Chain A
Amino acid sequence: MRRLISLLATAATLVAAPALSQELTAITGGRVLTGTSVIENGTVVIQNGRVVSVGIGAAPSGARVIDARGRVVTPGLVVVDAGLGASEISSVNGSDDLSNSANSISASFDVSYGLDPWSFTLPVARLGGITRAVVIPSHGGGGGGHSHHVDDSDFAGVGEGGLQSPGLFAGQASVIHLASGTDILVRPRVAMAAPFGEAGAGIAGGARGAQFVQFKETLAEVRLYARNRAAYDRAGIRDLSLSRADLEALIPVANGDMPLIVTVRRAADILQVLRLADEEGIDLILDGADEGWLVASQIAAAGVPVLLNPIDNLPGNLETRAARMENAAALNAAGVVIAIKGNGVHRAREARFNAGNAVSHGLPFEAAIAALTVNPARIFGMGGQFGELRPGAAADVVVWDGDPLEPLSSVTAQFINGQQQDLTSRQILLRDRYRNGGRPAGGMPLAYGN
């Protein structure tokens, strides 16, 4: 039965207008995981950068057909908190645009200006099936985009409490897509990031109690400023501790219009942050939440989503002593909407393995797929626009040769905004250069063989 609904999407909400592929394309015969359901032997039709239809049946006439029989078709994976496009080499300071240490620019720090569409981190992530990312500024509390591996690392200054941002806020996150091209920004300033727990306490002077007081005082200043802009310009109100730029940036947070991503790990701290958000009218997203399973019902009752890495099961410090592999499963079972993270900028592609490990520790498979696709899109206010295969959504489609959560599986075809992506990277070029043991052919150094 033909079920080809020609539904052209309204692209108006997208800030960046992607280069559209006009070609009508049908991906047929695969096991389609839409992000919210499963269709066996499904057909995904895309055109003009959008999904036209998802269902069963033959390809429309004239369509280019991608045969996905025996394969699995998913929405492109959406990885949160990976720093993609904003950090090239973690240890090379000048190449890292994820964190900022100027006192006058904390909440107003906007990662979108530092995005590099030519970053070599993007093709590597694409090979892991990632088509979108939420780039979140980093701070010393961890979970802010960096998962540094500085091997044997304690002398490298990124250990516990190695605070990089002097303010209470790390800055504002962006949503990007990973299509090759010149503009990867989808939407800037989608959320504000702030560390709580040990990291936040460290910023405030050392104690959690100080940070909560300072946080409330800061929001009071923001509201005062918002009511008295003209007086502020005339220097007619009392001195405020934040810069004008930071005050401006925090107005939507104080109004509940911009979500606040709070990195917090200890169960007790999670409860305090839930209370704070309720008192202050903040639209909260929890990040980390290593001990979240201990207070899962409270998180669920507050309707607060969680960004987490399900493989964090060791007490890296004293605020994660209850860390468990079952955290993702327990939160999901309680009704919390979760998004599963990768392992930092360079290992963002491991997000799917993290999800697989969550499944092997109790998370239902469908929930794991949702945590990599539809959930992060919804958490950041872009549900329906990407992260799921449904009419009108961006044509971010990945074809896999097996279960996408399995390390033995690989991407065989990938579309972002309807554009088919090359499945290559700088690493693939290196591999091919050295695949014959590094022995030059014909006596000339390998450097000539391009």
Chain B
Amino acid sequence: MMRRSLRGPSLAVVVCAAALSACTTTSGSGSDEAETPRREARALPAGLDYAANPDPFPSTYAPLPRDNMAIVGATILTGTDQRIENGVVVITDGRITAVGGANTPVPGGHRVVDARGRFVTPGIIDVHSHLGVYPSPGVTGMSDGNEATSPNTAQVWAEHSIWPQDPGFNTARAGGVTTLQILPGSANLFGGRSVTVRNVPSVTMQGMKFPGAPYGVKMACGENPSRVYGGRNQSPATGMGNVAGYRAAFIAAQDYRDKWDRWRETGEGSPPTRNLQNETLAGVLDGSIMVQNHCYRADEMAVMMDIADEFGFRITAFHHAIEAYKLAPQLAEAGICADMWTGWWGFKMEALDAVEENAALVDAQPGSCAVIHSDDAQLTQRLNQEVAAALAAGRRAGMNITEERAISWITSNAARSLGIADETGSLEPGKRADVVIWSANPFSVYARADQVYIDGALTFDRADPRYQPLSDFELGQPGYGIAAANIAPGAR
């Protein structure tokens, strides 16, 4: 998942060192840093050497109160292409410890949750969200998603725009979403860093940050950057201007990384001045920061893949990959995830060729990584239904796709698309206990998330107002405290 630079304390190492669990074992056993002969770089004033404090906004997330439990009797879609009828999921200390059929032993002292007649899936992961950065209400003063001031703003971080009181986090959780990647917008070639969060109520964004999850950088192909900057009579104004902009940025980042490496090796002269923009792109080059690339058209994806080869980095995912189906074998061969909608099309030229079968066609390729995403505070509440529509389209096209396969498009494949597949996205022993109990088959429009667990802690319960959190913003607003059509006051 994370590649170590041989030349210095890369961001990958740094991110691992900051992780709570994902990398603690590797950093414990990995003494390769100590074995690498290297002159001790002299200490710089605080903040001038990224390696000295590689995680300046550390996660303070702690799981909510939880107890050990076993969910029994449900139909389980594991996220690993498995379907278990009348199954058992055992959760111990916030982790999955066993998944199996009815005879799976439940340890003594574990609370038993009766889920007979219901469905259990991994918590849903939305790989493309702007909750918090484009919050509700989307009014003056609350639009913090696009630093549309320069085509390259790799130096900005989405986490610094997140408003944790966005009510959209709560409605997403009520739809089963336990993990989200929050991205900057797509006005720029490089929009900035994304951040992956646990969907828990918190006063601070640090309280939501997914411990150890790698950062991404939002890149954008196509119409948006050329429209925004072309409209200002500056570059990029065209597709070719876009590509020149990506390449110039990576040339600068290579140069920057090289300067730091040389300084660390020799310790001579003045150190390079820290540059947050290049620092993010250097993270891309050393593999510690994942490229999350908004890219609609197949021809543009192919160009981006060549740029990645030219500079020696990997593209993790194409987002809004409307035309992924035209390039499905190549994406699978390159190990690139295609993060897609089912029903969105036609809102601009580059969205013209969208087909509902996109996910099914991508998924049909061996080694593929098909993901359904939202980009929308409404759709994120119903990603299960968006998958159902994609599944139905695939079946209409004659493809044989099971529900246990399709659920991976918003669970395990989504985790892969964020570099957190070792931690979540499937119901397997060792994984975080991010679990949804659905009232019915989640591919039905009538299914509701009854209970949503994050790290084994109950974070939402449709039947229990004590587990229906309201953000600060929602207190005392119109309608507050009044029940609408027999639902709990306040719940949306």
Contacts and interface: CB of A to CB of B under 8 A. Distances in A.
A427 B378 CA distance: 24
A434 B138 contact: no
Given A91-B347, A321-B477, A405-B445, A438 B325 contact: yes
Contacts of A428: 355
Interface stretch (B58-66, B285-293, B388-396): B388-396
Given A314-B171, A317-B138, A407-B389, A345 B346 contact: yes
A125 to B, nearest CB: 11
Interface string B366-379: 00000000011110
Interface in B114-128: none
Grouping DSSP codes into helix (H, G, I), strand (E, B) and loop, the A interface class, with mixed when no group exceeds half, is loop
Interface stretch (A280-288, A352-360, A387-395): A352-360
Given A322-B479, A435-B361, A353 B445 contact: yes
A90 B346 contact: yes
Interface residues of B, number: 75
Interface string B324-348: 0111110000000000000111111
Given A406-B444, A408-B444, A362 B485 contact: yes
B361 A431 contact: yes
Nearest to B385: A407
A174 B361 CA distance: 38
A313 interface: yes
A350 interface: yes
A291 B487 contact: no
Nearest to A88: B346
Given A151-B375, A152-B224, A437-B328, A326 B485 contact: yes
A329 B448 CA distance: 16
Contacts of B348: 89-92, 150
Interface residues of A, number: 70
Interface in B427-446: 443-446
Contacts of A333: 485
Contacts of A90: 346-348
Interface in A305-323: 311-318, 320-323
Interface in A259-305: 266-267, 291, 293-294
Contacts of A340: none
Interface in B131-166: 134, 136-140, 143, 145-146, 148
B162 to A, nearest CB: 15
B146 A152 contact: yes
B224 to A, nearest CB: 7
A413 interface: no
Contact of A315 (B137, B320, B349, B389): B137
Given A91-B348, A294-B482, A315-B137, A407 B445 contact: yes
A92 B138 CA distance: 24
Given A154-B145, A360-B448, A318 B139 contact: yes
Contacts of A121: 346
Contacts of A315: 136-137, 167, 477
A349 interface: yes
B287 to A, nearest CB: 26
B443 to A, nearest CB: 6
B173 interface: no
A126 interface: no
Contact of A431 (B134, B298, B355): B355
A85 B423 CA distance: 47
Contact of B478 (A321, A325, A405): A321
B102 interface: no
Interface string A334-357: 000000000101110110010011
A165 B140 CA distance: 21
A155 B228 contact: yes
B382 interface: yes
Contacts of B143: 154, 159
A53 interface: no
B138 A159 contact: yes
A428 B354 CA distance: 10
B54 to A, nearest CB: 28
Contacts of B388: 406-408
A155 B329 contact: no
A311 B389 contact: no
B448 to A, nearest CB: 6
A223 interface: no
B484 A151 contact: no
Contacts of B446: 356, 359-360, 406
The residue among B148, B228, B343, B397 with the most chain A CB atoms within 10 A of its own CB is B343
B470 to A, nearest CB: 12
B476 to A, nearest CB: 10
A155 B100 CA distance: 49
Interface string B348-361: 11001111110001
Nearest to B329: A437
B136 A92 contact: no
A356 B349 contact: no
B83 interface: no
Contact of B364 (A346, A359, A437): A437
A258 to B, nearest CB: 31
B492 interface: yes
A349 B292 CA distance: 30
Contact of B353 (A153, A324, A329, A430): A430
B185 interface: yes
A154 B135 CA distance: 12
Nearest to A446: B326
B361 A360 contact: no
B349 A89 contact: yes
Given A314-B168, A326-B485, A438 B329 contact: yes
Contacts of A346: 344-347
A211 to B, nearest CB: 19
Contact of A316 (B138, B184, B486): B138
B186 interface: yes
Interface string A394-435: 000000000001111110000000000000000110110011
B130 interface: yes
Contacts of B365: 437
Given A314-B168, A431-B361, A435-B361, A160 B444 contact: no
B228 A324 contact: no
A379 B278 CA distance: 59
Contacts of B91: none
B253 interface: no
The residue among B184, B376, B448, B478 with the most chain A CB atoms within 10 A of its own CB is B478
A244 interface: no
A153 B377 CA distance: 13
A323 B477 CA distance: 11
B352 A89 contact: yes
Nearest to B386: A407
B308 interface: no
Interface string A119-145: 011001000000000000000000000
A149 B347 contact: yes
A313 B171 contact: yes
A439 interface: yes
Given A356-B446, A359-B446, A152 B354 contact: no
Contacts of A359: 445-446
Given A316-B138, A431-B325, A438-B329, 15 more contacts: A88-B346, A148-B347, A152-B134, A314-B378, A316-B136, A316-B137, A318-B137, A318-B139, A324-B485, A324-B492, A347-B345, A359-B445, A360-B446, A362-B485, A428-B355
14 contacts: A91-B348, A124-B345, A148-B347, A150-B348, A152-B145, A154-B134, A154-B143, A314-B136, A321-B479, A329-B485, A406-B388, A406-B446, A409-B392, A427-B354
Closest 3 CB pairs of A and B: A322-B479, A356-B445, A152-B185
Interface of A: 88-92, 120-121, 124, 148-155, 159-160, 266-267, 291, 293-294, 311-318, 320-327, 329-330, 333, 343, 345-347, 349-350, 353, 356-357, 359-362, 405-410, 427-428, 430-431, 434-435, 437-439
